[in-house]
Amino acid sequence: MTSARCASSLRRPPPSPASASAENWIVLRPEQWSKLLPPPPVEPGHSWELDRDVSAKILTYFYPQTENNNADVARIQNLSLTGKVLAVENGSATARVDGFVEMQHAFYAGRDKQPLRADVVGVLIWQPAGPPTLKLVTTTAEYLGHPFDVAVESTSHPVP
């Protein structure tokens, strides 16, 4: 099984207190990870849309640390993750990933939801045998007038 570690923090201008940070683990089964990969042929320059359902499972965590930790994908209004193959060498492929997520998020559970947008960039590396490696970071993200940062890095674990 491969999981992705998602860390987020809310940036605040000085002299505010230090940024709050959080970490979430997103567990994806091998069949979900495979849906992120492009259809053949895998050649440099080839672009594709990553699977929307799997992308939503990852991007739903792209919000700053708040009192509300509801990561329901139903909050997502729009999203896109697009891959572009950069290189194929020695059985390994590397792609750039660009995208965004727009959703509604309530700072406190049960309160009014506010719009949030995060633009992301990253890399996806895979080989025919073995789980892919995914890394994503926000390039711009804002919630309630404050910028925030999120980073995702996948890690592999044996399937139980």
Task: Compute φ and ψ for 57, nearest 5 degrees.
Answer: -60, -30
Q: What is the mean pLDDT of the chain?
A: 85
Mean pLDDT score, 119-139: 91
The confidence band for 24, taking pLDDT boundaries of 50, 70 and 90, is confident
| Residue pair 31/21 in contact by the 8 Å Cβ criterion | no
Q: Determine the pLDDT at residue 27.
A: 84
DSSP sequence for 70-106 = ---GGGEEEEEEEEEEEEEETTEEEEEEEEEEEEEE-
Percent of the chain past pLDDT 90, that is, above it, reads: 49
Provide the Cα torsion 92, 58, 6, 34; round to 10°. Answer: -30
Q: Which residue has the higher pLDDT, 38 or 158?
A: 38
Nearest to 71 by CA among 60, 79, 58, 57: 60
Strand 146-156 relative to strand 114-126: parallel, antiparallel, unpaired? unpaired
What is the C-alpha end-to-end distance of the chain, expressed in Å? 8
**50 vs 3: which has the higher pLDDT:** 50
Q: Measured between alpha carbons, how far is 103 from 111 in angstroms, rounded to an integer?
A: 15
Residue of higher predicted confidence among 139 and 17: 139
Q: What is each CA distance from 70 to 45, 76, 111, in whole angstroms?
A: 37, 12, 12
Return the pLDDT at 5. Answer: 57
- Name the phi and psi angles at 73, rounded to 5: -65, -15
**Residues in the chain, overall count:** 160
pLDDT tens per residue, range 57-90:
999 988 887 787 878 889 999 999 999 999 999 9
The pLDDT assigned to 77 comes to 96
Mean pLDDT of 24-33: 85
Where does residue 99 rank: exposed (0-12), middle (13-18), buried (19+ CB within 10 A)? buried
pLDDT at 11: 56
User: Rounded mean pLDDT of 136-159?
Assistant: 85
Paired residues of 134 in beta bridges? 124
* pLDDT tops 50 at residue 13: no
Residue 18 is predicted with a pLDDT of 43
So what's the pLDDT on residue 10?
A: 53
